[in-house]
Structure 1
Amino acid sequence: MTVHFVGAGPGAADLLTLRAARMLADADVVLYPGTYLDAEVLSHCREDAELVDTQHLDLDAITAHLVAGHERGHDVVRLTSGDPSVYSALAEQTRRLDAAGVSWDVTPGVAAYAAAAARVGRELTVPLVAQSVVITRAQARSTPMPDTESLAAFAATRATLVLHLAITRTREVMAELAGEYGADCPVVVVYRASQPEELVLRGTVGDIADQVEAAGLRQAAIILVGRALEPASGGESYLYDRDRPRRK
């Protein structure tokens, strides 16, 4: 049998891919991150499926469940929040499965930052404003950041920033960004994007920390920073320019 790493999307039960929903319906064992997922996502599972909440388990304990399910000949799904390619611990888990001789595959999901951008109706790559998106995080009680990936270095690009795992350090992060982006630069914070508890805060580099602290946000929030978030910003795409030469 194969262990399936499946992106659960931002949390809404109807934002899973068709493939993900089908895998959940077929699975004998489902491991899921209870901290970040709306319980309604699990409605896609069979009633007799074994459900394991991983929020209090370390990687070795999680791997033990994956290997045990595989050895019993069960279909095993390991749900990740958002998309498995970003902050999902996919690398660590698959290394352990390779060592145990367990096969695995990956099914992508809707990234949480994409759901956040959709919620506020903004494109993150606006012509003449920002053509790059930097997905990063803040350093707190977490794995150290590489020396080459400082927030100051990313800020120097003035690309649209997507910040994960940074909500408890919003004030410090905004202080670091103010020099490059300016205190008036738009910022959007989306807590539990697409879920029933969703909360959207709109502000600027200069005032968003006050809003975050007043709302008492401590986890499960995405921070978007950049001039692309301004409704009237930017030019028009050359790709769709009427005068651009096109092949016939």
Structure 2
Amino acid sequence: MIHFIGAGPGAVDLITVRGAKLLGEADVIIYAGSLVNPDVLSYKKEDCVVYDSAGMTMEDVIAVMVETEAKGQTTVRLHTGDPALFGAIREQMDELDKLELTYAVTPGVSAFSGAAAALQAEYTLPEVSQSVIITRMAGRTPVPEGEELRKMASHGCTMVLFLSTGLLEQVEQELMAGAYTSETPAAIVYKATWPEQKVFHCTVGTLAQTAKENNITKTALITIGGFLGSTYERSKLYDPTFTHGYREASK
């Protein structure tokens, strides 16, 4: 059996209970060493064989899976955060389908959730933003037509940018070509939930400057929007004047 598992955003204890259990049962672990906290491997059993996929191609990874399956053993493919977000798992699963090999996916805590925890913030605030756009700036890898950052930014809702820390000057321009201004609140979260986590509050117009001043070049999420401000409306769910299916409004 082959298991794709989300390792979580960084903290060792933010892997799911299921993910930790499966790690402990694996005969072979292939983990994204450039992104996954290696301390997560503390869950493995003593005789488990570990591969760091940072220097491997997809073909290399599949070959290890095929070899492990031929031995009747269990493989864990350990991805950072949640594998469904920028995890490149679809191409691996398609290859396994061709080979008629069985696999399962265990979700993980995404870094965008870890960033919100680090910020002690709520992405969806009444009368501020009820939507979150998770995307990235186009770089060496393009984005689909119609998903250019300025078009995504035109909605003015909460945004979380992955894989964009090295392109912040362009990010600023694209965001301000959308619905944001140079004064829109923003924050850079470096290595969310890791021991070395750092949070830098700034504005859209000072993203690049803030990253430069703090030597942040990678492994960070960029968050943008009014959710980082101080103004919002109280939720109706717990408002004593609001009636819903579980409670009558007080008079």
Consecutive unaligned residues of structure 2, counting only runs of 5 or more, are 247-251
CA offset at residue 175 of structure 1? 1.5
Q: Which residue of 2 aligns with 1:80?
A: 79
CA offset at residue 218 of structure 1? 2.5
Equivalent of residue 176 in structure 1, options 174, 196, 204: 174
Stretch deviating more after TM superposition (88-97 or 205-214): 205-214
Aligned counterparts, 1:34-73, within 5 A = 34-73=33-72
CA offset at residue 240 of structure 1? 2.4
1:158 to 2:156 alignment: yes
- Code of the residue aligned with 1:164 in structure 2: it is F
Q: Which residue of 1 aligns with 2:10?
A: 11
- Code of the residue aligned with 2:97 in structure 1: it is D
- Code of the residue aligned with 1:221 in structure 2: it is A
List structure 1 segments (4+ residues) > 4 angstroms apart after TM superposition: none
* Contact preservation (8 Å) 2:30, 2:78: yes
Equivalent of residue 165 in structure 2, options 157, 164, 167: 167
Instruction: Provide the C-alpha distance between the structure 1 equivalents of 2:216 and 2:98, rounded to a whole number of angstroms.
Output: 39
Cα deviation code 1:147-181 (max 9, x no counterpart): 02111111110111110000000111012112421
* Contact preservation (8 Å) 2:159, 2:224: yes
Instruction: Provide the C-alpha distance between the structure 1 equivalents of 2:59 and 2:41, rounded to a whole number of angstroms.
Output: 23
Cα deviation code 1:116-144 (max 9, x no counterpart): 110110000111000000000111122x2
Q: CA RMSD in A?
A: 1.2
Cα deviation code 1:85-116 (max 9, x no counterpart): 10001111100110111111111100001101
Stretch deviating more after TM superposition (234-243 or 5-14): 234-243
Q: Which residue of 2 aligns with 1:245?
A: 243
Cα deviation code 1:57-84 (max 9, x no counterpart): 1111111112221121111110110001
CA offset at residue 219 of structure 1? 1.9
Stretch deviating more after TM superposition (58-67 or 126-135): 58-67
Residue identity (%)? 37
Instruction: Provide the C-alpha distance between the structure 2 equivalents of 1:193 and 1:146, rounded to a whole number of angstroms.
Output: 27
Instruction: Give the length in aligned residue pairs.
Output: 245
Stretch deviating more after TM superposition (189-198 or 26-35): 189-198
Consecutive unaligned residues of structure 1, counting only runs of 5 or more, are none
Instruction: Provide the C-alpha distance between the structure 1 equivalents of 2:30 and 2:217, rounded to a whole number of angstroms.
Output: 24
Cα deviation code 1:176-222 (max 9, x no counterpart): 11242111111111111111222221111111211112222222111
Instruction: Provide the C-alpha distance between the structure 2 equivalents of 1:104 and 1:41, rounded to a whole number of angstroms.
Output: 21
Instruction: Provide the C-alpha distance between the structure 1 equivalents of 2:69 and 2:242, rounded to a whole number of angstroms.
Output: 55
| TM-score, normalised via structure 2 length | 0.94
SS of structure 2 residue aligned to 1:161: strand
* Contact preservation (8 Å) 2:165, 2:217: yes
Q: Which residue of 1 aligns with 2:249?
A: none
CA offset at residue 245 of structure 1? 2.1
- Code of the residue aligned with 1:122 in structure 2: it is A
CA offset at residue 242 of structure 1? 1.7
Aligned counterparts, 1:99-248, within 5 A = 99-142=98-141, 144-179=142-177, 180-230=179-229, 232-247=230-245
Instruction: Provide the C-alpha distance between the structure 1 equivalents of 2:70 and 2:213, rounded to a whole number of angstroms.
Output: 49
Instruction: Provide the C-alpha distance between the structure 1 equivalents of 2:7 and 2:30, rounded to a whole number of angstroms.
Output: 11
- Code of the residue aligned with 1:190 in structure 2: it is V
- Code of the residue aligned with 2:148 in structure 1: it is S
* Contact preservation (8 Å) 1:126, 1:233: no
